[in-house]
Chain A
Amino acid sequence: EADIYQTPRYLVIGTGKKITLECSQTMGHDKMYWYQQDPGMELHLIHYSYGVNSTEKGDLSSESTVSRIRTEHFPLTLESARPSHTSQYLCASSEYKGRSGELFFGEGSRLTVL
């Protein structure tokens, strides 16, 4: 079944650790996005990609990095996690063709840095 998957769903780690949040989609979409969301707050776009080897920074500055080596995979990496990185991270994808702007979201990865 076509879907978008995020792992891990929950992660608690110590300061200074390197972490990678995985996002994969089987929907055949070209565009993929990472949003950061604090509880009760709006979603902020931190990274997006139009396709393979394309990555752009979003509207909210983030110390994380992303890569897009395969169409279906868009991982997010934090080289050295800090408590300020504690948040929920949502991955989304959408079609590139035409003007379709509908986003399909994963279930999210909730990160806690101690």
Chain B
Amino acid sequence: AQRVTQPEKLLSVFKGAPVELKCNYSYSGSPELFWYVQYSRQRLQLLLRHISRESIKGFTADLNKGETSFHLKKPFAQEEDSAMYYCAPFGTGGFKTIFGAGTRLFVKA
């Protein structure tokens, strides 16, 4: 069965501390992996995708196909990073995206 696991519902760190949001997935085939973010009072939006191999707002994510993980990392968290983060594999076969339960990141001053 297709499944996405984000083990932490809430992650609280101090400003300037490193942060890692974990994501493990179980998905047939070779999905594309995405991270979406929802800031307070804003709509859900794309943060980054693994095929781009880019850093967005200081965040990076490494796809580990052996461990089927796609953890999101940032070396120095900022207060404006406080938001809800969703890991989301996209199946190129069925053109469907499934979502994890999300991790709420709270960055304290």
Contact = CB atoms under 8 A, between A and B. Distances in A.
Given A40-B9, A43-B86, A103 B46 contact: yes
A58 interface: yes
Interface in A78-114: 90, 94, 96, 99, 101-108
Chain A's interface size range is 20 to 34
Chain B's interface size range is 20 to 34
A44 B3 CA distance: 11
Contact of B43 (A31, A45, A96, A106): A106
B86 to A, nearest CB: 7
B27 interface: no
B32 interface: yes
Interface string A23-42: 00000000101010000111
Interface string B1-35: 01010000100000000000000000000001010
A105 B45 contact: yes
B50 to A, nearest CB: 11
A44 B32 CA distance: 18
A90 B98 CA distance: 13
A42 B102 contact: yes
A1 interface: no
Contacts of A105: 43-45
A101 B99 contact: no
B53 to A, nearest CB: 15
Interface in A43-60: 43-45, 48, 50, 58-59
Contacts of A96: 95
Given A90-B44, A107-B43, A101 B95 contact: yes
A40 B100 CA distance: 11
B74 interface: no
11 contacts: A33-B97, A35-B99, A40-B9, A42-B100, A42-B102, A59-B96, A59-B98, A90-B44, A101-B95, A102-B46, A103-B88
